[in-house]
Copies of this chain bind each other. A is one copy, B any other.
Amino acid sequence: MANAVVSQSGGPTGVINASLVGVIQEAAKHKEITNLYGGLHAVAGIVKEQFIDLKKISTEVLERVAGSPSSALGSSRDKPNDEYCQRILKVFEKHDIRYFFYIGGNDSANTCYIVNNMAEKAGYQLRAFHVPKTVDNDLLVTDHCPGFGTAGKFVACALMGDDLDNHALPGVKIDVIMGRHAGFLTGASMLGQQRDDDGPHLVYLPERPISMDKFLADVEKVYKKLGRCVIAASEGICDHDHVTWAEKLAEHAERDSHGNVQLSGTGALADFLAGQIRGKLKIKRVRADTFGYLQRSFAGLQSETDVKEARECGRKAVEFAMKEDNGSVAMKRTGNGAKYGVEYFRTDLGSVAEKTKSVPDAYINSEANGMTPAFAEYAKPLVGNLPQTEFLGRYPTI
């Protein structure tokens, strides 16, 4: 009998709260867990002992939480060093916290890993479990990450609408999509394609460096053929020197505590790309949008598969913690297409911590400007059903 804490870290997603509710509801079933505390604002709140009593939250409120985007317990961008982790452990000892459920990306897995190792060394019995979440889909071991499907659905719906908009008022349209190192979310831009000439016509991922000359040649080719061109570009796209274009633009850019340049929350990259096309290709109607935080926190839009799996990942973390000392929850795909399904399993914290997965080569076309059918097969079940659309301009004229 001991207490447990659950917390959420890093960038919010559309289903990280479903994982939280999964933890809460499964924890309620196990008498080994006396109190379940919600640690506010991740490690930043934990070291300040900012806890709420999650057993007091009604089922009605919890169901609203599960349907809400963003992190209902708040989040933090703090990257704890050893001293910080020692403070976390002190707080755990003080409150007799023996279960630590941490929902986040690879940095969060690493925090779990460090705190767990420290507890072992100190002879303090702790069960530290990481619950995966990230819109980037870049965690190792697991087939995919909760959060990706919902963000992918937003991006796919956005591109479906934007492509129809570009059909109606032709020109070049650039959409800049989240994803610093991994291009899965940018790839999701093509999942709504229904007809041969549906956009995005060009998709650029951080995994494939591209020169400005090749980029402009690609755009010109599509524009000459179709009279329009819709481009999905990751915020993390880089030139052949592997420096991102965003970084080149941002001499005095803000860096976060992980040393990363801020890529989201600014329209600079999109405007730069639009300017290049306007100036060098002499195309007049060029527009650029940066999807920004809408992709990860839009109320009322979730992938059904994603939200179900996110909740299950939270539940499984508690289940695993009843039997095992530590770990990270992962998913294995058991079937595809109509037979899509997953199994949940425990993996070592060290196999997930601080590591990132890239989009596999088989998912990127040979020209490095689009996705393959294999990617669509992988991603479609995660994003779930997409709306069906029509454009009448493709029907024959009288």
Contact = CB atoms under 8 A, between A and B. Distances in A.
Contacts of A298: 157-158, 161
B169 A77 contact: yes
A72 interface: yes
Contact of A300 (B73, B387, B390): B387
Report copies per complex.
2
A53 interface: yes
A384 to B, nearest CB: 11
Interface string A386-397: 111111110111
A137 to B, nearest CB: 19
A289 B290 contact: yes
Interface string A363-398: 000000000000000000000001111111101111
Contacts of A262: 287
A287 B264 contact: yes
Interface in A50-78: 50-54, 56-57, 61, 64-65, 67-77
Report the contact-size class of chain A (Cβ under 8 Å from the partner): 35 or more
A287 B301 CA distance: 22
A264 B173 CA distance: 12
Given A64-B390, A389-B67, A289 B293 contact: yes
A162 interface: yes
B67 A294 contact: no
Given A68-B164, A299-B386, A398 B51 contact: yes
A309 to B, nearest CB: 20
Contact of A299 (B157, B267, B396): B157
Interface string A11-39: 11010010000000000000000000110
Given A40-B393, A290-B289, A298-B157, A387 B67 contact: yes
A301 B157 contact: yes
Contact of A267 (B40, B73, B268, B397): B268
Contact of A297 (B67, B68, B74, B161): B161
Contact of A65 (B40, B168, B192, B392): B392
14 contacts: A12-B168, A57-B395, A65-B392, A67-B387, A67-B388, A67-B389, A72-B391, A74-B169, A158-B298, A161-B293, A265-B289, A266-B270, A287-B292, A288-B292
Given A70-B391, A267-B288, A288-B292, 20 more contacts: A40-B393, A57-B392, A69-B165, A70-B161, A72-B168, A73-B392, A76-B169, A157-B301, A158-B298, A161-B294, A161-B298, A162-B293, A165-B293, A192-B299, A262-B287, A265-B286, A265-B287, A266-B267, A266-B270, A267-B268
